[in-house]
Amino acid sequence: MSRIALAHDYFIQMGGAERVAEEFQAIFPAAPMFTTVDRRQSHLDGGRGPVRTSWMQRLPINEKNYRKYFMLYPLAVESFDLSGFDLIISSSSGYAKGIKKKKGAVHVNYCHTPMRWVWRYEDYAARERFGGVKRRALPSLLKILKLWDLRAADQPDLYIANSQIVADRIRQCYGREATVIPPPIDVNRFSSNEPDEDFYLILSRLNSYKRLDLAIEACKKSNRPLVVIGDGPARAELEKLAGPHTRFLGRQPDTVAAQYAGRCRALIFPGEEDFGMTPLEINAAGRPVIAYRGGGAMETVVEGATGVFFNEQTADSLILALEEFESRAWLRPELVRHAEKFSPQVFASRIREFVAGAVPMSDVADFIENSGNSTFSTTRIA
């Protein structure tokens, strides 16, 4: 009998990568999840496997300071003993791909992006607006981390990328090929039958690199109502920029966010994301997207059918897109059907098919049928 283990960088702030990791737990409910730190207030139930944290769990790590520990995460992931597992599935934008395996085990890495802070440091530092001291001190430390990242990139046997853009980055950074499997969208969380209301929506962490300032400035200049759901380090700055028709609701429960998603005119998505799950979530609520023409949005937004693009990251370019959006008619059923192509069921099917093809076994059909268990029967092919 062979055993499956799951791994994720950390559960500190809950975003798209964490939702994907939790979906792996749903697909393989008896498999234990290895992660450096878990700060979730409640854990998944329904018989899913245990969560095994590292020694970093005892450190005072939280959503505000977790980046300061960046040199410790490699040590933590390498401290795990996975010698009892034959298949490891890791979810990572940084560290979990470096988890060690026994000889003969298969490691599949679902890569959200190569480590941004070492491979795109200048862009990352500018987005985070690092001061002079950090800008001078970080590069030497990140050179060490980059060397570790290159070694860690050799640990997985196979890569899955969440988008073609990320697959290209994996090839450029690590010299490895990746199969693209988009992340799951919980379409059942949304209703397309909510009443129409006159406001645009931001649904995002409030980080500077997401360029939410463009949406706030554009709505202020054009007197359009805007609702902002989410929280983060850029909130105070964004609030100062906002006009009288912009409301900040902070972080809201999923049920509340889903209600606003179903009632808004459209989501404004002004940043450049690796994939960007929120546009598809909005489509699941029967609403279109106004997105910057860049990043993962170009793989998920169908221009004229599920949303419109703006070409420059300026408020004026976004205002033109808002005007174009308002001149069009949008069909809710078409938007929902588009989102359903990315449902958890579709994701689970693609992951099971990929893993069944990746792991040498004599009876693939039996593995797929029993993939909800952390153990499965295989015969190794020499």
User: What pLDDT is attached to residue 131?
Assistant: 58
Q: What's the CA gap between 112 and 165, in Å, rounded? A: 10
Mean pLDDT over residues 352-364, rounded? 71
pLDDT digits (tens, 9 = 90+) for 205-257: 898 889 999 999 999 999 999 999 999 889 999 999 999 999 999 999 989 99
Q: Are strands 375-376 and 158-161 parallel, antiparallel or unpaired?
A: unpaired
Of 44-48, 125-129, 285-289, minimum mean pLDDT range: 44-48
User: What pLDDT is attached to residue 122?
Assistant: 66
User: What pLDDT is attached to residue 366?
Assistant: 40
pLDDT digits (tens, 9 = 90+) for 106-160: 999 999 999 988 887 666 665 555 555 566 667 788 889 999 999 999 999 999 9
Q: Residue 357 pLDDT more than 70?
A: yes
pLDDT digits (tens, 9 = 90+) for 4-20: 999 999 999 878 899 89
Sketch the domain layout of the chain as residue ranges: 2-114+153-184+343-373, 187-340
The 10 Å Cβ neighbour count of residue 204 is 24
User: What pLDDT is attached to residue 130?
Assistant: 57
What is the architecture of the domain spanning 2-114+153-184+343-373? 3-Layer(aba) Sandwich (3.40)
Q: Which band of pLDDT confidence, cut at 50, 70 and 90, is reported for residue 380? A: very low
Q: Which residues 6+ apart lie within 8 Å of 174 measured at CB?
A: 114, 150, 153, 159
Contacts by residues 293-302 (CB-CB < 8 Å, ≥ 24 positions apart): 295/165, 295/271, 296/162, 296/163, 296/165, 296/166, 297/269, 297/272, 297/273, 299/163, 299/164, 299/165, 299/182, 299/275, 300/182, 300/275, 300/276, 300/342, 302/338
User: What pLDDT is attached to residue 197?
Assistant: 95
Is it true that domain 187-340 has CATH number 3.90.550.10? Answer: no
Q: Which band of pLDDT confidence, cut at 50, 70 and 90, is reported for residue 370? A: very low
User: What pLDDT is attached to residue 367?
Assistant: 40
Cβ burial of 83 (10 Å; 0-12, 13-18, 19+) is exposed
Please provide the average confidence, as pLDDT, over all residues in the chain.
88
- φ, ψ of residue 287 to 5 degrees: the values are -120, 145
Cβ burial of 110 (10 Å; 0-12, 13-18, 19+) is buried
Give which of 17, 11, 13, 12 is closest to 276, Cα–Cα. 17
Q: What's the CA gap between 134 and 240, in Å, rounded? A: 26
Topology agreement, domain 2-114+153-184+343-373 and domain 187-340: yes
Q: Residue 46 pLDDT more than 60?
A: no
Give which of 204, 195, 284 is closest to 248, Cα–Cα. 204
User: What pLDDT is attached to residue 123?
Assistant: 63
Give which of 187, 212, 332, 339 is closest to 263, Cα–Cα. 332
The reported pTM is 0.83
Q: Which residues 6+ apart lie within 8 Å of 109 measured at CB?
A: 89, 90, 91, 92, 96, 97, 155, 156, 158, 159, 160
User: What pLDDT is attached to residue 221?
Assistant: 97
Q: Which residues 6+ apart lie within 8 Å of 4 measured at CB?
A: 28, 31, 85, 86, 87, 88, 89, 374, 375, 376
pLDDT digits (tens, 9 = 90+) for 346-356: 999 999 999 98
